[in-house]
A and B are shown apart, each in its own frame.
Chain A
Amino acid sequence: MKQYRWLAYPYAVWMIIFIVVPLMLVLFFSVTAKAPDGSIVLTLENFKKFWEPMYINVLIRSVLLAVYSTVICLVLGYPLALILAGRDFKRKNILVMLAVIPMWMNFLLRTYSWMTLLEKNGTINAFFGTLERLAATYLNMELTLPRVNILYTETAVILGMVYNFLPFMILPIYSVVSKLDRSLIEAAQDLGGNNLVVFKRVIFPLSLPGVLSGITMVFMPAVTTFVISRLLGGAQFMLIGNLIERQFLFSNDWGFGSALSIIMLLLILLSMGFMSRYEKENSGGGLW
């Protein structure tokens, strides 16, 4: 295999140019500032700025919203992954496809469509209105349906996150559970375990690697998103992603923006390290 080593060089170059160098730049911007005379000085000002209550609040809100949506994704996604992985289930390929198809569409378009759905005069409310009118004209009955009024609230932001990131929870769990050794489950059943015990003692522990990578894959984009909170939250709920975007595009404070990015990066590394402590050896599951 040694003679094929050179095949890795393009990747190494690619990674240096597009990952290592930009990261270095971010790090550089975060610890430097331009002095009035134009020279560049080392400083920790940018990091100090972050410890103001208003920025800490932004971080707390981002983490909380991301945790909510990750938990909801897990609660919704885990059973679905189990169902999909069930052997005696005939049309499962179609279901897997259905879970994946939304990912083929552009993420922005999907988020914009949620706006159209949830608006005051949006598709859902218009549909309810039509039902009410139909009931009044044909059945002669007064029907009052509730109206969806959640656009530009935190609920809408969480909804958007769950909708967009749910496949990232389902797929890793599905890929781990579907590769489970059936004989283990059969052995557990032979030894007299009922369904609950089999699940608790065999299936769930073995599916943990998938669950953990699912959690990371949902949590990370959720905690850094800035599009969902702007579109569905009406820019009222500033998340850390919005704050970083703002520093680069509007405030022109690249130093602070970079410092925020570094803090975010550390946070993600920390949580990943925390997770991997629970990951067992030779788990081999997940998408990575």
Chain B
Amino acid sequence: MKRVIKVMFLLALLAMTFSLAGCGDSGKPTLKVFNWFDYIDESVYKAFEKEYGIRVIYDTFTTNEDMYAKVVSGNADYDVLFPSDYMIKRLINEDRLAKLDFDNIPNYKYIDDRFKDLDFDPNNEYSVPYMWGTLGILYNKEMVDEPVTSWDILWDSKFSKNIFMYASQRDAIGVALKRLGFSLNSRNEAELEKAKQSLIEQKPLVLAYVGDDVKDKMVAEEAALAVVYSGDAIYSIWENENLAYAVPEEGTNLWFDSMVVPKNSKHKKEAELFINWMCDPENALKNTMYIGYSTPNSAAYDMLPDEVKNDKSAYPDDEILEKCEVFDDISDVLDIYNRIWDEVMTAN
């Protein structure tokens, strides 16, 4: 009996060795892609593999910080990443990204000019936008009769204890700043002080300050209004059709998830080929239809069905977009932001 076990153990060990060896080079060039979880129409990269004979190793992450930790740990050798705006800025500042050769990305011409040269990459050397969206108000049409057009509704005592605020200091202070007509990236102490007063004034009306779980709570109709990112809003509306999403007219935060290539990538050419493939209008259309987020690809936008194209919550009017801002790095005044949030959170 003992012998049988021994033999089986050895066999298992052998099998394991061979299966590991199988992961090695199989001749085909490989490309390691690191994207957000459930953030691509899989047929798009499968078609890329077929078209160019490149093997794609596809990994996913769930927060920018996770992605960052893995990429800087040194063990990862990804070729294409999909970070958000502020994370791209950080990666650029730390000199971790490779400058792209846009001659290899001819489809870049389809990217709408509004989404080029964004603040986190001012000369557009490192990144190509993949998806974009806004921060706005998710509301329940059964509980809110009036049209939702302004941040002011979150300060309306009619909805006392019926509002979920986002428990993230940058977003919450940003909402207050925008409501008061200031910049999302304000460094002015007087403006920030006013934003603080405004948040303290709002606190009695707030049911709770919540994080990612806001999606499920709104789906369960626990409150009438909530501050959410458009991506989460789309998910919630799919789950509960009483919900709707609005981008306030005072403007809001505009976010981007863009494609970048890390400096240590050994397959930069293939990576650029992949980015180009993703910018192909047909492929961009497939991805935006699958994910439900807004595409920066104007050719793909033109091909969208009319009801999506005219959906003001996904594609707000230009005059609102003009008032929107991308988060800037505010680490030099972070102390003030921290302090404000402490005061709001400890207020009675």
Residues of A within 8 A of B (CB): 54-55, 57-58, 119-121, 151-152, 233-236, 238, 242-243, 246, 250-253
A48 nearest CB across to chain B (Å) = 15
**CB neighbours of A58 from chain B (8 A):** 346
Whether A57 lies near B346 (C-beta < 8 A) is: yes
Encode contact with A along B213-236: 1 for CB under 8 Å, 0 otherwise.
000010011110000000000000
B284 CB, nearest partner CB in chain A, Å: 36
Closest Cβ neighbor of B167 among chain A residues = A235
B343 pairs with A235, CB closer than 8 A: no
Q: Within 8 Å CB of A235, what residues of B?
A: 167, 208-210, 345
Whether A251 pairs with B338 at a CB distance below 8 angstroms is yes
Residues of chain A contacted by B207 (CB below 8 angstroms): 152, 234
A29 to chain B, nearest CB (A): 17
A119 with B346, Cβ < 8 A, contacts A236-B203, A236-B206, A250-B169 known: no
CA–CA, A234 and B165, complex, Å: 10
What does the 1/0 interface line of B327-348 toward A look like (CB < 8 Å)?
Answer: 0000000100010001101111
Q: Report chain B residues within 8 Å CB of A252.
A: 334
Contact B338 A152 (CB under 8 A): no
Q: How far is the CB of A35 from chain B (nearest CB, A)?
A: 16
Number of A-B contacts (CB under 8 A): 49
Q: Which 3 A-B pairs have the closest CB atoms?
A: A234-B208, A235-B209, A251-B338
Known A-B contacts A234-B207, A235-B345; the reply to A119 vs B338 at CB < 8 A is no
- CB of B338 within 8 A of CB of A54, answer no
State A151–B222 Cα separation when bound (angstroms): 11
Q: Give which listed residue, A55, A121, A233, A234, contacts B346 with CB less than 8 A.
A: A55
Q: Please tell me if the beta carbons of B209 and A120 are within 8 angstroms of each other in the complex.
A: no
Mark interface residues in B238-260 (1 if CB within 8 Å of A CB, else 0): 00000000000000000000000
| CB atoms of B346 and A54 under 8 A apart | yes
A119-B222 in contact (CB<8A): yes
Contact B345 A238, beta carbon cutoff 8 Å: yes
The answer to whether B346 and A253 have CB atoms under 8 Å apart is: no
Bound-state Cα–Cα, A58 to B342, Å = 10
B210 nearest CB across to chain A (Å): 7
Which of A55, A57, A250 is most buried by chain B, counting CB atoms within 10 A of its CB?
A: A250
In the complex with contacts A236-B206, A236-B208, A236-B209, A119-B342 CB distance below 8 A: no
Instruction: List 10 extra interface pairs beyond A54-B343, A152-B207, CB under 8 A.
Output: A54-B346, A119-B222, A120-B223, A236-B206, A243-B346, A246-B342, A250-B169, A250-B338, A252-B334, A253-B338
Per-residue CB contact flags for chain B residues 136-174 toward chain A (1 = under 8 Å, else 0) read: 000000000000000000000000000000010100000
Measured CB to CB, the closest approach of chain A to B175, in angstroms, equals 16
* Docked pose: A198 CA to B206 CA in angstroms: 52
**Most-contacted residue by chain B among A246, A251, A253 (CB, 10 A):** A251
Q: Give B203's nearest chain A residue, CB to CB.
A: A236
- Nearest A residue to B338, CB-CB: A251
Asked if residues B209 and A234 are in contact (CB atoms below 8 Å), the reply is yes
Q: Which of chain B's residues have a CB closer than 8 A to the CB of A253?
A: 338
Q: Please indicate the chain A residues that have their CB under 8 angstroms from the CB of B209 in the complex.
A: 234-236
17 example contacts (A-B, Cβ-Cβ < 8 A) are as follows: A54-B342, A54-B343, A54-B346, A55-B346, A119-B217, A119-B222, A121-B222, A152-B207, A152-B208, A235-B167, A235-B209, A236-B206, A238-B345, A242-B345, A246-B342, A251-B334, A253-B338
Question: In chain B, residues 108-160, which have Cβ atoms closer than 8 Å to a Cβ of chain A?
Answer: none
A55-B222 Cα distance, complex, nearest whole Å: 31
CB proximity of B78 to chain A, nearest CB, Å: 26
Which of B206, B208, B334 gathers the greatest number of chain A CB atoms within 10 Å? B208
Q: Within residues 70 to 104 of chain B, which ones have a CB less than 8 A from any CB in chain A?
A: none
B161 (CB) vs chain A CBs: closest residue:
A152
In the assembled complex, the Cα of A261 lies from the Cα of B51 at a distance in Å of 59
B346 touches A238 (CB 8 A): yes
- What's the least CB distance linking A263 to chain B, in Å? 16
Chain B, residue nearest A119 (CB):
B222
What is the CA–CA distance of A236 and B208 in the complex, to the nearest angstrom? 6
- Taking the closest CB of chain A, its distance from the CB of B58, in whole angstroms, is 30
Complex CA gap A246/B217 in Å reads 24
Which residues of chain B have C-beta atoms less than 8 A from A151's C-beta?
A: 208
CA separation between A242 and B167, bound complex, in Å? 13
B342 contacts across to A, CB distance below 8 A: 54, 243, 246, 251
Distance, CA A243 to CA B343, complexed state (A) = 11
> Please, which residue of chain B has its CB at the minimum distance from the CB of A116?
B220
Name the residue on A nearest B208 (C-beta). A234
Nearest B-chain residue to A112, judged by Cβ: B213
- In chain B, positions 24-50 with a C-beta closer than 8 Å to chain A are none
